[in-house]
Structure 1
Amino acid sequence: MSKDIINYGVIGCGMMGQEHLRNIALLPGARVAAIFEPNDLMANAAKAIAPNAKLCGSIAELLAQEELDCLLVVSPNHMHVSQLAEVARLRPLPMLMEKPLYTSEEQGRQLAALRADYPAPVWVAMEYRYMPPVATFVEQLERATGGVTMFSIREHRFPFLPKVGDWNRFNRNTGGTLVEKCCHFFDLMRLVLQSDPVRVMASAGQMVNHLDERYDGETPDIWDSGYVIVDFASGARAMLELCMYAEGARYQEELSAVGPKGKIEAFVPGPGRFWPTHLGVPPTSQVIVSPRHPKGPQAVDIPVDPALLEAGDHNGSTFYQHQRFVQVVRGLAQPEVTLDDGAWAVRMGLAAQQSAMTGQVVQL
């Protein structure tokens, strides 16, 4: 495709959708041409970010806009598969689909039927891959470790934020915390270990957050903490530690990979807007390599463009992801995070949810 400007159509413009809009606005050669957002408040907020975009009353109306070159889907999790089916039926354009790709085993089966026949590229939005400290961590893995045998992720962060209609307070809409929040981390496990999982063990639950909330008389059932251990076909092991009531920490994510030659770590701060102003400038991301011989940690700061930090909560990754996706739309590259990758991440999350509920190991 030789067009000067790539025109996006956007489905869903809540909090995360608006982050995408701000990042597309920073991207040369791209613009948002049309938006479908059924909530008036969110639609007006989106229009303020992308004033030249047309607000559409349905997905069908959005897809009827001839100038569209691609789609971005940022709707609530449980809507993704049905919306993919509608797009496939009406006008299958190249698509960037927010995570998680689906939320239940039944939706997984529906997705499998769609995947084979969708004629355009689909990229599943796993932003954490594109955080500069995480990207540096992945690039340096082999040199630092000599081949990863153990990989751990710790995320200590703030609780789930309010969303339109409070959809993210209930497992039936999100797939559960280990799908909604943690599919990013299961995707990173497969990326880092270059292998597929064979067993999942988890202990998780709702300990602190949302217990005093009621929506139409119903108490949220979304979990806020847990541990997940995953065995991989290669023999490597990975572990996730999640706590969503620990936002006082200096770093939000801490990654550690170890192999026969040494260890590499990445430290990623949370959104700058949540950092206490009385503590001064928010922390800078860091990567540390710790070789076995000769011993001596080597630390490198990984700064991120302040304009990208201002545009969203994901350490600049949303912008870098769109840079690469636009190349796919232009026909110059293939999706780096495929439908298969997105499906595996959900499958791992659902297995972790099942293991935590039953107390049993889940074989994949």
Structure 2
Amino acid sequence: MTEIRYAIIGSGMMGQEHIRNIGLINGARVTAVCDPDDGMRNQAAVLAGHGCKAFTTYGELMAAGLCDALVIAAPNHLHHQVLLDVLPADLPILVEKPLCTTLPDCEEILAMAAQRAAPVWVAMEYRYMPPVERLLQATSLGETGPVRMISIREHRFPFLKKVGDWNRFNEKTGGTMVEKCCHFFDLMRLIAKAEPIRVYASGAADVNFRDEHHDGRTPDILDNGFVIVDFDNGVRGMLELCMFAEGSQWQEAISVIGDSAKAEALVPGPARFSPDGAERASEFVLSPRTSKVEQRETIEVDHTILAAGDHHGSTFFQHQKFFAMVRDGGVPEVTLEDGLKSVRIGLAAEHSARTGEVVVL
């Protein structure tokens, strides 16, 4: 295959980030986009460049036969139906997180996908942030010693404006702990090398969108919270989320503490939210117990890659691996089962935050 042709289903903010990053890969080209919104669809077609066809529906797009791989970046609540409709085509698929917004929907997709040959990769971009990859390398090489605790802090900006304001309500997002935080629960599972057995959360909608009303309803998505996750091998994970803290130097601070050392990945927010609009470097920090001397590394990322999206280069590095899988064969690094399990933890956290109950998985 000399060129891999991509079709993008859902051409909003994230769909356009995918288009920019695919455009950086030699041998990859976006040949078709679709979106029911005229503005998003036209922007995406222009961004993709000469020869890209634009469609109002993904049914029309699929019928045109213009692609070798699909990227699904439609709103969360549409993933289930889109996947049901496109899985029979047996094309390689990259589907944005969360896989679906309910467990039954995720389970139905897994059952249906088991009957096909082509792979489905769930887009967990945060695995591919360079400082996070350095953190994962440190834990896998034993630099921390056996992992005991995982702490993830995200202090960031509120949810952005989306077409139709679909991201303001739990019914369409799955809830903040699913929509936003499935990334982090996926990382916890990956680092712990274990499965969760218990989830406890405390959270609320305190600050963001309190003055908004949509069809007479006030947004109900959480904008802050804490989540504790206990794993079956004794590792404990904690998430601290605040979505009205965009003044922070580090948007994400991910730490892993083992018997021998603490390792941290420190990730700045997108350049457009920095005071001067400039990109900022990320860092990796290793703090051994024996020397008590912090080892700090600056993680440099090409500015062209950083400028292609809001996720510190991770969308590009994920696409590199997806492209290689499509071109050379292989299996997804992030499976449908990974997608389902991250949604399960997120839904448990949502339930716990709203009821005060500890959820046993």
Tell whether the structures are fold-level matches, with TM greater than 0.5: yes
Task: Work out the CA distance in 2 between the residues paired with 1:282 and 1:56.
Answer: 34
Task: Work out the CA distance in 2 between the residues paired with 1:308 and 1:293.
Answer: 37
The match for 2:64 is 65
Do residues 288 (structure 1) and 285 (structure 2) align?
Answer: yes
Do residues 313 (structure 1) and 293 (structure 2) align?
Answer: no
Do residues 242 (structure 1) and 238 (structure 2) align?
Answer: no
1:96 to 90, 94, 97: 94
The match for 1:132 is 130
Paired residue type of 2:95: M
Contact 1:250 1:283 in 2 (8 A): no
Paired residue type of 2:187: L
Contact 2:87 2:113 in 1 (8 A): no
Task: Work out the CA distance in 2 between the residues paired with 1:92 and 1:38.
Answer: 24
Do residues 271 (structure 1) and 270 (structure 2) align?
Answer: yes
1:354 to 339, 351, 354: 351
Q: Deviations over 1:306-363 (max 9, x none)?
A: 0011111000010111100011112333100000001000000001111111111111
Q: Deviations over 1:215-270 (max 9, x none)?
A: 12211111100000000011100000000000001010001101111110110000
The match for 2:210 is 211
Contact 2:256 2:263 in 1 (8 A): yes
Q: CA deviation at 1:109?
A: 3.7
Paired residue type of 1:244: M
Q: CA deviation at 1:9?
A: 1.0
Task: Work out the CA distance in 1 between the residues paired with 2:69 and 2:278.
Answer: 38
1:29 to 5, 13, 27: 27
Task: Work out the CA distance in 1 between the residues paired with 2:316 and 2:78.
Answer: 24
Task: Work out the CA distance in 1 between the residues paired with 2:56 and 2:229.
Answer: 43
State the TM-score, normalized to the length of structure 1: 0.96
The match for 1:13 is 11
Contact 2:279 2:306 in 1 (8 A): no
The match for 2:166 is 167
Task: Work out the CA distance in 1 between the residues paired with 2:160 and 2:115.
Answer: 36
Contact 1:144 1:290 in 2 (8 A): no
Paired residue type of 1:156: H
Unaligned runs of 5+ in 1: none
Q: CA deviation at 1:100?
A: 0.3
Task: Work out the CA distance in 2 between the residues paired with 1:63 and 1:271.
Answer: 34
The match for 2:299 is 302
The match for 2:73 is 74
Q: CA deviation at 1:281?
A: 4.4
Task: Work out the CA distance in 1 between the residues paired with 2:245 and 2:57.
Answer: 39
Paired residue type of 1:22: R
Contact 2:130 2:313 in 1 (8 A): yes
The match for 1:87 is 86
Paired residue type of 2:183: H
Q: For 2:249, what is the secondary structure of its paired residue?
A: coil
Contact 2:285 2:297 in 1 (8 A): yes
Unaligned runs of 5+ in 2: none
Q: CA deviation at 1:283?
A: 3.0
Change in CA separation of 1:332 and 1:108 when aligned onto 2, cut-off 3 Å: closer
Q: CA deviation at 1:67?
A: 4.0
Contact 2:72 2:96 in 1 (8 A): yes
Task: Work out the CA distance in 1 between the residues paired with 2:13 and 2:201.
Answer: 30
State the TM-score, normalized to the length of structure 2: 0.97
Task: Work out the CA distance in 2 between the residues paired with 1:40 and 1:60.
Answer: 16
Q: CA deviation at 1:151?
A: 0.4
The match for 1:336 is 333
The match for 2:40 is 42
Task: Work out the CA distance in 1 between the residues paired with 2:160 and 2:168.
Answer: 9
Q: CA deviation at 1:56?
A: 1.9
Task: Work out the CA distance in 2 between the residues paired with 1:257 and 1:88.
Answer: 37
Q: CA deviation at 1:304?
A: 1.0
Task: Work out the CA distance in 2 between the residues paired with 1:283 and 1:194.
Answer: 31
Paired residue type of 1:268: V
Paired residue type of 1:339: L
The aligned runs of 1:100-179 (5 Å cut-off) are 100-141=98-139, 142-179=141-178
